[in-house]
Amino acid sequence: MNTSAMIQELKTRLARHTAVTVLTGAGISADSGVPTFRGQDGLWNNYRPEELASPEAFDRDPRLVWEWYNWRRNLIRNCQPNPAHYALVDLERRGGTFRIITQNVDGLHTLAGSQRVSEIHGNIWKVRCTRCGRTAVNREVPIAILPHCSHCQGLLRPHIVWFGESLDPVDLQQSHDALRQCELLLIIGTSGVVYPAASFGSVAKEHGAFVAELNRDPTPHSDLVDMAIHGSAQDLVPQLLA
């Protein structure tokens, strides 16, 4: 099937189905100027995740980790949602059961206006106290290094799920509910190598959903999903709603 035939089929399914779940990754924000992690120009080509995005890294050198997050906060604050984010807002407004599960921490889905969003890897604009566990929104750029909790003076860390850490159980439950309930799962702009999100396509499929992947490049899941469409998210996603 060629791309336009696949888009047409997805449009028909979207019109028919009342339970839709969308899993997004860094690729949906690439067209907004947020760097992806893997592939050409990916952040992990130049930085080592274990030195910047792990609890051990933060214990070892919290200044370095905060400097890296300041760099990313500065970059992301200048980024705006793109047509793919806005198309998902329109999709949600059609009604029915809907949820976006995103691995992105940039907050662009909610900035665009999406309501039912599970940010399973956290949010770059939130901080969490390493002592009392309180979370708070903090949009300072740059954040004063080292930041401390206004309540207990404990050291603040980014409210991000790092390598080796578990997802918040509420996010995990919401995600599994959405994957079990949906008739259609759209997987947009994720390389599909980080778990548990990498297993979400199979979970939805086991529960009877039609699973479609929209990605600029093939992924390890392209042959396992029901449909894989290649192209940029900002071109493809709005076409589904046109």
Positions touching ligand OAD (CB under 6 A) are: 25-27, 30-31, 36-39, 42, 49, 53, 103, 121, 161-162, 189-191, 194, 215-217, 219, 232-233
CB 232, min distance to ligand OAD, A: 4
| Smallest separation (angstroms) from ligand OAD to the CB of 151 | 26
Q: What is the CA radius of gyration of the chain?
A: 18
Residue 159 falls in the annotated catalytic set: no
Check whether the bond before 142 is cis (ω within 30° of 0): yes
Residue 228 · residue 222 · CB < 8 Å:
yes
Residue closer to ligand OAD, measured from CB, 49 or 196: 49
The CB-side HSE value for 227 (13 A sphere, CA atoms) comes to: 22
Handedness of CA 144, 155, 49, 99 (dihedral sign): negative
Closer of 97 and 222 to ligand OAD (Cβ): 222
- Based on CB atoms, which residue is closest to ligand OAD, 27 or 83? 27
| Given the residues 121, 207, 221, 230, the one annotated as active site | 121
Q: Which residue is nearest to ligand OAD (CB)?
A: 27
Nearest-approach distance from CB 88 to ligand OAD, in angstroms = 13
Question: Closest by alpha carbon to 203, among 74, 91, 72, 101?
Answer: 101
Q: Bridge-partner residues for 119, per DSSP?
A: 102
Residues tagged active-site: 121
